C-alpha cells in the first residue's frame, strides 16, 4: 500500500467496514484491491447497466484506478448474490477533503441504502469532512438529508472537431 498523504486506508478501518452486516442476509463490503480481480467479472454487468453517454470514465478506467487504490469498490451481497456496487474516490479541495461517490449501480436498494453511515464512517476515518455524489438529479429524492450545492453544466464540442 502506498503511503501518500491522507489517502492510506488503515487495515483496521477496512476490517471494521468489511464486517458490517445490513439486513438479515445482506452484507456490504469494501473490497480490497487484491480481491477485485476475483469479483470483477460479476461487477461489470452492474456497471454496464448504469453507464451514461458522457464517457468520462470507462469500465477499464475504473479497474485500473481500483487496483492502484485511487478508487474504492464497495459491494452489497445477499447470500452469494451481488446486489449492487459502488465506486468512491477521495476528492481533495483547497479547503476540504471529501469522499466522492462516482458510481452506484445495482438493485435491492431498500436492503442497503439506509446503511450509508458505513460510507460516512469510512470518509471520517480517512480525514474527509463531506460526501459528494456524481449522479443524476433523481438521487436528491433518495438521499433525503443531502442537498444540491451546485450543478455541472456541459456542452459537447465533438461536432466542432471535424
Q: Which residues contact 78 (CB under 8 A, 6 or more apart)?
A: 23, 25, 26, 27, 108, 111
pLDDT of residue 24: 57
Encode the chain (162 residues) as per-residue pLDDT tens digits.
333 444 445 555 555 555 544 455 788 889 999 999 999 999 999 888 665 555 677 788 899 999 999 999 999 988 888 999 999 999 999 999 999 988 888 888 888 877 778 888 999 999 999 988 877 777 767 777 777 777 676 677 778 887
Sequence length of the chain is: 162
pLDDT of residue 4: 42
pLDDT of residue 157: 77
The Cα–Cα gap between 3 and 93 comes to 20
Is residue 99 within 8 Å of residue 131, measured between CB atoms? yes
Structural domains in the chain, sorted by start: 11-161 (3.40.630.30)
Is residue 71 within 8 Å of residue 53, measured between CB atoms? no
| DSSP code of residue 113 | G
Determine the straight-line distance between the first and last CA of the chain, rounded to whole angstroms: 44
Residue with cell 461517490: 101
pLDDT of residue 6: 40
Q: Cell triple for residue 74?
A: 464497495
pLDDT of residue 8: 45
pLDDT of residue 58: 77
Residue 140 parent element (H or E)? helix 139-142
The Cα–Cα gap between 93 and 115 comes to 26
Is residue 127 within 8 Å of residue 97, measured between CB atoms? yes
Amino acid at each position: 500500500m502506498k503511503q501518500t498523504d491522507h489517502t492510506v486506508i488503515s487495515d483496521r478501518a477496512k476490517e471494521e467496514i468489511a464486517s458490517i452486516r445490513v439486513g438479515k442476509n445482506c452484507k456490504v463490503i469494501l473490497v480490497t484491491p487484491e480481491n477485485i480481480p476475483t469479483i470483477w467479472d460479476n461487477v461489470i454487468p452492474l456497471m454496464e447497466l448504469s453507464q451514461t453517454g458522457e464517457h468520462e470514465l470507462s469500465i477499464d478506467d475504473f479497474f485500473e484506478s481500483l487496483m492502484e487504490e485511487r478508487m474504492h469498490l464497495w459491494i452489497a451481497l445477499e447470500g452469494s448474490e451481488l446486489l449492487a456496487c459502488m465506486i468512491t474516490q477521495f476528492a481533495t479541495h483547497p479547503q476540504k477533503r471529501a469522499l466522492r461517490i462516482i458510481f452506484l449501480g445495482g438493485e435491492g436498494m431498500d436492503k442497503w441504502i439506509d446503511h450509508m453511515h458505513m460510507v460516512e464512517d469510512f470518509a471520517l476515518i480517512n480525514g474527509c469532512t463531506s460526501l459528494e455524489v456524481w449522479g443524476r438529479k433523481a438521487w436528491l429524492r433518495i438521499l433525503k438529508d443531502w442537498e444540491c450545492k451546485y450543478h455541472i453544466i456541459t456542452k459537447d464540442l465533438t461536432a466542432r472537431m471535424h
